[in-house]
Structure 1
Amino acid sequence: MTMPLLHDLVRAQAARAPHAIAVHHGESAMDYGTLDELARRYAAALAAAGVGPGDRVLLWDEKSAHLIGLMQAALRIGAIYVPVSPANPAQRVARIADSCRPRLIVRGSSGRAPGVTLDELLALAPREAPAWESDPDDPAYVLYTSGTSGEPKGVCVSHRNALAFVAWAVAATGLRSDDRLSNHAPLNFDLSVFDLYGAFAVGASVDLVPSDLSYSPEGLVEFLRDRGITCWYSVPSALQLMTRQGGLLDGPPPPRLRLCVFAGESFPLGEVLRLRRSWPLVRMFNWYGPTETNVCTSYEVTEADLDRTRPLPIGTACSGDTILLDETGEILVDGPTVMLGYWGRPRHRGPYRTGDLGRYDDLGHLEYHGRCDTMVKLRGHRIEPGEVEAVLLTHPGVADAVVVVAGSGLTARLHAFVVPGPGEPPTFLAMKRHCAEHLPTYMSIDRLTLVDELPRTPNGKTDRRAVLAAAGG
């Protein structure tokens, strides 16, 4: 049996249920039949613009049903789409373009960069679209992430890579055709893969969260409730902001919500258990995996976790992957979701080294213990700030925390930035005592700063560089 490709999903649903809604965007809705025809027209337009198999199409525009149709179109002619959030400044987009050398740039209507708009592209469409038979191991899309060198790195993902995750995720969550998934993440963030292709795999609909709501806690809570979302997927910090500032847990649970999935960073234990208690009928999943592997481990948060005192596990291997720990505790991932490689570099071979540290708990669930590359030597000892953070997050007075090393040499100190939870804010002395109960003396924090919230990157993760700058590092 021939393996399906990413663009086969919409085609199949258009043939099965053409009038079922595929994409909601604001007050508009597009059914599968219309999305299928739109993808055909855009495929013809791309070919007319000179785009062919293996060419890159850089997408620098706001989310829309038309942009989703263009992504489908690129796949149908064997091209590779490269989504870039419109929040990216022109200079960074130029660096990404220098890396992937797109045949075509599709931009917003502001005329801020070379390329064409969606309307201009569609005007090029002839009557017939070209046909192309892709291979499951052909590149489908490239997601650019921050590189340690300061230059963006393009994670190249094949149809097989993406569908291995999607097929597992659909089965694990029990996704159905009557589901309505939120798409909170930018399209260049790997969380969006489940939102879009999970929906398309079962004939469900995806509701695109507008960029102006992305960081509005009250707006996101209203979106979740009023749009009838059944499956929410975001980084934990979005749910934390929605809880603390948006009234997420005020009143009854969202009426249609049945799945809540989070990934991308650690979820403070007190916060996730508060969510678990408040939504007893909602299934919750903690997913883990870098962009290079998408989701490779999963843990379902259940009522049995309500008495938990250790950090939330990242679970067990999923998506057909195998998880290994080397002698240092670094997490290695091998299996079908591991990327083809970084764009412009040799193909990746063998297990992917995540740079994350892990260990197994007594039940065989993997726990995340910070980054290898943030490990420091302080006061003559090797210290992983992530391990200190994990301990701080088990304190009932802490909603969120990040630990950085400020200073150097003899003046280097562990500086904790803490977002207080409900109730009395934690004191420095209380935090020192808590550290003493769980960590060796040399890993105890030296300074404590209470903040209303932690700075975030455009993808919603903790901005450690901004935290370090605030600490004077």
Structure 2
Amino acid sequence: MSTLLQQYFLDSLSQDAKAPAVHDGPRTYSYGELDEIVEHLMSALTRHGLKAEDRLVMWTEKSAVTVALMQAALRLGIIYVPVAPSNPISRVKQVIELARASFVVTDGPIGFATRLGSSTLDLLLASEQDVVPLAPTISPDDPAYILFTSGSTGVPKGVTISHTNARAFVDWAVVEAGVGSDDRLSSHAQFSFDLSVFDLYGAFAVGAAVDLIPSSAANNGTALAAFIRERQITVWYSVPSALMLMIDHGGLFIARAPDDLRVMIFAGEPFPLGRAKALLETWAGVRLMNWYGPTETNVCTGYELSASDLTRNTPIPIGYPASGANVTLRPGPDEGEIVVNGPSVMVGYWGQAPQDGAYATGDFGRIGVAGEIEYVGRSDGLVKIRGYRVEVGDIEAVLGLHEAIQDVAVLAVGEGTDRSLTAVVVPKGGRRVSLLGLKSHTATHLPTYMIVDRLHIVETLPRTPNGKVDRTHLAHAIGKELE
């Protein structure tokens, strides 16, 4: 049996080519229809000279054709690199350079000069199809895709995931959530976000269908709540922020649970206990799961909520080892940094030395009374905002380029949907700094979710004895002023 990521789709195709594979707005594509697009794209990519191990940057909106492009790349041994459409051109250029990409596919004109080959999805589909190329020999340990995440130096890091890494997670997740061929999975996350891996490949692993949520609705609580009910979603997976948007603005608790929904999974950031209890109590018939894991490890722990959590007064646990992972605490044994080893741990950062052994997450955890792992917090400047992993140093590096800024620190303030990015700025030579100006400046360099929400002007930044910004002191001071 093949252990390649594309085999999920191929196996389901052979079992029932007429079964729905992807719901894309009003259009539904069967496994057979999607496969025809995959083969057409394989022919087009080969005609453009792409071959195994080349990197293909995909700067596109979510669509069934984009899903087909991923499958085409996998079958040809091409490493795909999804980039969210919200990324500015400067960020896309950075990813292209770091990935040493061979080709770029967009929804529309590339919009900037590049020495690389490039095309739009429409042009690829309109091209004349040659004979479908034969699939090359691919090892399960070869890279399947690269997900670029925020980096502490201002340079994004390319997390390289092999077929083995991805399948270790998907195989576990499908069993854990009990996904079957009759299910309809939501696809809330952008394809550049690791949550999307379960949405797509979890569905394909069992011959189920995935329903793509358009970017325009991703942050609209009313639209998301309606989507679950109207599209008859049975398995939902998103960051807690999306759930809280539905609770606060979509009337999620006004009516009973959607008739078809049976599993709701959240990951990517802590879920406030009060909200989780309300969900658990209101939707007693829906399984609620909390999954944890940085992009570098896929999901490495999981926890399913139960009635006993209604009396809990501590944060929801991240649970027990998942995806075949060995999870330990260092120095431990009962508290320390979360360290992960096993088949789901990444190949390494693209362009850097391969990952050697266990991956230290930078997250701290402790062992609860039932032996489950509880998340304590971060050890560095890495924060979760709107469900995305963000290095504040990445934002600070960009803000430091602003001509009116002498010194800057970025803090994540608040909780849940109220969590925001605050830029604490020391102006240069008494120059004026405005929030609108900072938003405009960061928008040309960073994804939308990394644009600062608030501005706080100070004369100097507090520092620790070793010269680093005293973030604890600063956060306390800013928090007091915002109260």
When normalised by structure 1's length, the TM-score is: 0.81
Sort the Cα spacing of 1:256 and 1:59 in 2 relative to 1 into closer, same or farther, 3 A.
Answer: same
Q: Of 289, 314, 319, which aligns to 2:318? A: 314
Q: Of 148, 157, 160, which aligns to 1:156? A: 160
Counterpart of 1:165 in structure 2 is 169
1:33 Cα deviation after fit: 0.9
1:4 Cα deviation after fit: 2.3
Q: Of 133, 136, 144, which aligns to 2:137? A: 133
CA deviation digits over 1:216-267, x for unaligned, max 9?
Answer: 1101111111000001100001101110111111111111000000000000
Q: Tell me whether 1:116 sits opposite 2:119 in the alignment.
A: yes
Sort the Cα spacing of 1:305 and 1:157 in 2 relative to 1 into closer, same or farther, 3 A.
Answer: same
Q: What amino acid does structure 1 have at the position aligned with 2:264?
A: C
Q: What amino acid does structure 1 have at the position aligned with 2:378?
A: R
Counterpart of 1:417 in structure 2 is 414
Q: Does the aligned pair in 2 maintain the 1:186–1:459 contact within 8 Å? A: no
Counterpart of 1:201 in structure 2 is 205
- Partners of 1:180 and 1:415 in 2: CA distance: 35
Q: Tell me whether 1:287 sits opposite 2:294 in the alignment.
A: no
Aligned-pair identity (%): 48
- Partners of 1:418 and 1:32 in 2: CA distance: 41
Counterpart of 2:468 in structure 1 is none
- Partners of 2:212 and 2:302 in 1: CA distance: 25
Q: Tell me whether 1:334 sits opposite 2:331 in the alignment.
A: no
Moved more, 365-374 or 173-182: 365-374
1:465 Cα deviation after fit: 6.2
Q: What amino acid does structure 2 have at the position aligned with 1:192?
A: S
3-state SS in 1 of match to 2:152: coil
Q: What amino acid does structure 1 have at the position aligned with 2:218?
A: S
3-state SS in 1 of match to 2:45: helix
3-state SS in 1 of match to 2:297: coil
- Partners of 1:420 and 1:28 in 2: CA distance: 32
Q: Which runs of 5+ in 2 are unaligned?
A: 385-391, 393-408, 419-445, 458-474, 479-483
- Partners of 1:416 and 1:241 in 2: CA distance: 18
Q: What amino acid does structure 1 have at the position aligned with 2:124?
A: L
The correspondence of residues 13-24 of structure 1 with structure 2, limited to 5 A, is: 13-24=12-23
CA deviation digits over 1:53-84, x for unaligned, max 9?
Answer: 10000000111111100100001011100000
Counterpart of 2:96 in structure 1 is 97
CA deviation digits over 1:79-124, x for unaligned, max 9?
Answer: 1000000000000000000100211100112442452101212315
When normalised by structure 2's length, the TM-score is: 0.79
Q: Does the aligned pair in 2 maintain the 1:50–1:103 contact within 8 Å? A: no
- Partners of 1:138 and 1:28 in 2: CA distance: 34
Counterpart of 1:359 in structure 2 is 366
**Count of paired positions:** 401
CA deviation digits over 1:168-189, x for unaligned, max 9?
Answer: 0011111010000000000000
Sort the Cα spacing of 1:420 and 1:232 in 2 relative to 1 into closer, same or farther, 3 A.
Answer: closer
Q: What amino acid does structure 2 have at the position aligned with 1:47?
A: T
CA deviation digits over 1:280-331, x for unaligned, max 9?
Answer: 0001110000000010000001111111111100001010000011127110
3-state SS in 1 of match to 2:39: helix
- Partners of 1:179 and 1:244 in 2: CA distance: 27
Q: Which runs of 5+ in 1 are unaligned?
A: 376-384, 387-403, 405-411, 422-456
3-state SS in 2 of match to 1:163: helix
Higher relative contact order (CA 8 A, sep 6+): 2
Moved more, 104-113 or 249-258: 104-113
Sort the Cα spacing of 1:295 and 1:459 in 2 relative to 1 into closer, same or farther, 3 A.
Answer: farther
3-state SS in 2 of match to 1:261: strand
CA deviation digits over 1:418-440, x for unaligned, max 9?
Answer: 6799xxxxxxxxxxxxxxxxxxx
Counterpart of 1:67 in structure 2 is 66
- Partners of 1:271 and 1:49 in 2: CA distance: 50
Q: Tell me whether 1:35 sits opposite 2:39 in the alignment.
A: no
3-state SS in 2 of match to 1:223: helix
Q: What amino acid does structure 1 have at the position aligned with 2:34?
A: L
- Partners of 1:329 and 1:78 in 2: CA distance: 39
